[in-house]
Amino acid sequence: MRPPVRREVLRLSVNGEERELLVRPYATLLEVLREELRLTGTKHGCELGECGACTVLVGGVPQLSCLLLPAQVEGAEVTTIEGLADGATLDAVQRAFMERGGLQCGYCTPGMVLAARALLDANPSPTREEIREALAGNLCRCTGYAGILDAVEDAARSGR
């Protein structure tokens, strides 16, 4: 039998709100977001780092929440899909996904939108190839990626 492990305090900022939680040190950020904070916008498709559905931004950088342990996000600023819009005003990436058919079932969408947001923050005018490269780890089974590519291009244009 494995010895029991005590919960530990995790302090982090989620979507701009400071959080102090008592979590298992082996609970991934995915579990913390979905099960402790009930932020279910972050999806899971494999929990092994193979599909990208659970992508969140940690300090503005796309990371897979299914692989992150609490210690790795201590004090970090985490952005989930619920935190991307500015109040009722959607982010340009969200609007573009709606308008250009960047989503169908919507399940990969939170991760895809966040990865696209991070790309545009780092590179406001990406080429189509750069968009493909940046989103390469986010699998989608519905769209054939075409609507997503168009949407990110549109969002880049509208952001300029």
Partner 1 sequence: MTTPAAGREAGELHVVGKGLPKVDAAAKVTGAIAYADDIDLPGMLFCKLLRSQHPYARIVSIDTSAARAMPGVVAVITGDDLPVKYGIMPTCEDELALEHEKVRFVGDPVAAVAAVDEETALAACRAIEVGYEPLEAVESIEQALVSPDDEPIHGYAGPANVHRLAALEFGDVDAGFAEAAHVREDVFFFEGNTHLPMEQHSATAQAVGDKVTLWSSTQDPHYVHRALAKVLGLPMGSVRVVAAPHGGGFGGKCDPFSHEIAVCKLSLMTGRPVKCTLTREEVFYTHRGRHPVLMWVRTGVDRDGRILAMHFRSALDGGAYGSYGPASTLYTGALQTTTYAIPAYRFEGARVFTNKAPCGPKRGHGTPQPRFALEVHLDKLAADLGIDPVELRRRNYVRPFTRTVNWLRITSCGLGEVTDRVLEASGYEHRVKRPGHGMGFAVSSYMCGAGLPIYWNTMPHSECILNVGRGGVTLLSGATDIGQGSDTVLATIAAEELGLSPGDIRLVTGDTGLTPVDLGSYSSRVTFMAGNAAREAAARMRELLVRAVAEEKGCAPDEVAVADGRIGLIAFEEAAALAEARFGALSTRGSYTPPQGIGGRYKGAGVGPSPAYSYSAAVVDLDADGRSGEIRVNKVWLGHDIGRSINELAVRGQVEGGVYMGLGEVLMEAQAYRDGLLRQPSMLDYKSLTFLDMPEVETILVETLDPEGPYGAKEVGQGPLLPVIPAVVSAVHEALGVWVDEVPVTPDKVVRALDARAKGKEPRYGPKSFPQIPYPPLVKVAPPDAATAAL
Partner 2 sequence: MLRLPPCSYLRPGSVEEAAELLSRHGERAMLVAGGTDLVPKMKRGQMEPEVLIGLGHLAELRAVTETEEGGFLIGAGVTLAEVSAHRRLAAAYPAYVRAAALVSSPALRNVGTIGGNLCVDTRCNYYDMSFEWRQACGFCMKKDGDICRVAPASKRCRAIASSDTAPAAIALGASVVLAGPAGRRREVPVDGLYRDDGQYYLEKSADEVVESVRLPAPGSWCSSYVKVRRRNTIDFPLAGVAVALRRSGPLVDDCRIVLTAVGSRPFDVSAAAAPLIGRELTADVLAGADGLLAEVAAEAAKVAKPLDNADLHYVWRKQMTRRAVEQAIVEAAGRLPVPTGRA
Q: Does position 39 bind partner 1 by CB under 8 A? A: yes
Total of chain residues touching partner 2, rule CB under 8 A: 39
Footprint (CB under 8 A) of partner 1, residues 124-153: 131-133, 135-149
10 Å CB burial of residue 27 (0-12, 13-18, 19+) is middle
CA nearest neighbour of 43 among 141, 146, 150: 141
Total of chain residues touching partner 1, rule CB under 8 A: 55
Footprint (CB under 8 A) of partner 2, residues 74-133: 74, 115, 133
Helices (H), the chain: 29-31, 70-73, 92-99, 109-122, 128-134, 146-159
Q: How far apart are CA 130 and CA 97, in angstroms?
A: 18
Footprint (CB under 8 A) of partner 1, residues 63-122: 80-82, 84-85, 90, 94-95, 97-101, 103-110, 113
Among 9, 11, 17, 49, interactor with partner 2 by CB under 8 A: 49
* Sequence-separated (6 or more) residues with CB below 8 Å from residue 98: 90
Binding region for partner 1 (CB under 8 A): 34, 38-48, 50-51, 53, 80-82, 84-85, 90, 94-95, 97-101, 103-110, 113, 131-133, 135-149
